[in-house]
Copies of this chain bind each other. A is one copy, B any other.
Amino acid sequence: MVKSTTLRLKTSGNCDIVDITGQVAREVDGSGIANGTVTVFAVGSTAGIATIEHESGLLADLREMWDRLIPASVGYNHNRAWGDGNGHSHLRASLQGPSLTVPFTSGKMHLGTWQQIVYVDFDNRPRSREVVIQIMGE
C-alpha cells in the first residue's frame, strides 16, 4: 500500500529550519499502514531534509556551520550567470540532500527522543514550499 500527501510550508529563507516531525507522524499514524517506511522529500533545488535535535542553541550552530562550510560570500559562477545570489543555497541543498527515509512499525516512526525531522530552507528569500510525504508498507 502507498499513501502520498503534500505538505505546504511558508519559509523565511537563509537557513530557516522548520520542525515537521509532528506532521509526518500524523500522516504515518493516519495512513492505515502499520509497518513500512515514510519518505520525506523536499521539492526544489535550494532546500533539504535533515534530522537534528530541535533545540535553539543547536539550530544556531547549524546555521553557523553552513556559513563556515559553504559561505554565501564566495564568488559563485551561478551568481555571475543568474544574478540571484543563491549559489551557496544550491550547493548546501545538494550536499544535505532532499530526501529522508524513516522506518516505522505499529504506526510509530523509529526516531530517537531528540531526533526531529526538519525542513531546511537554504534559499536567500521567503518561499512557498512543498514537501512530499510518501508512506509505503502493509
Contacts of A41 in B (CB 8 A): 101-103, 110
Given known A-B contacts A90-B58, A94-B52, A45 and B99 have beta carbons under 8 A apart? no
The answer to whether B103 touches A39, judged by C-beta atoms less than 8 angstroms apart, is: yes
Given known A-B contacts A39-B37, A39-B101, A62 and B94 have beta carbons under 8 A apart? yes
Contacts of A110 in B (CB 8 A): 41, 43, 130, 132
The answer to whether A58 touches B70, judged by C-beta atoms less than 8 angstroms apart, is: no
Interface size class of A (residues with CB under 8 A): 35 or more
Assembly CA distance A41 to B130 (angstroms): 24
Residue of B nearest to A34 (CB): B2
Assembly CA distance A60 to B90 (angstroms): 12
Given known A-B contacts A43-B110, A136-B137, A97 and B98 have beta carbons under 8 A apart? no
The answer to whether B35 touches A57, judged by C-beta atoms less than 8 angstroms apart, is: no
Question: Taking the complex as formed, is A25 at the interface, i.e. its CB lies under 8 A from any CB of chain B?
Answer: no
Question: Taking the complex as formed, is A112 at the interface, i.e. its CB lies under 8 A from any CB of chain B?
Answer: yes
Cβ proximity bits A67-106 to B, threshold 8 Å, 1 near / 0 not:
0011000001111111000010011011111111111010
6 CB < 8 A contacts A-B: A39-B101, A45-B52, A45-B114, A50-B97, A55-B81, A60-B77
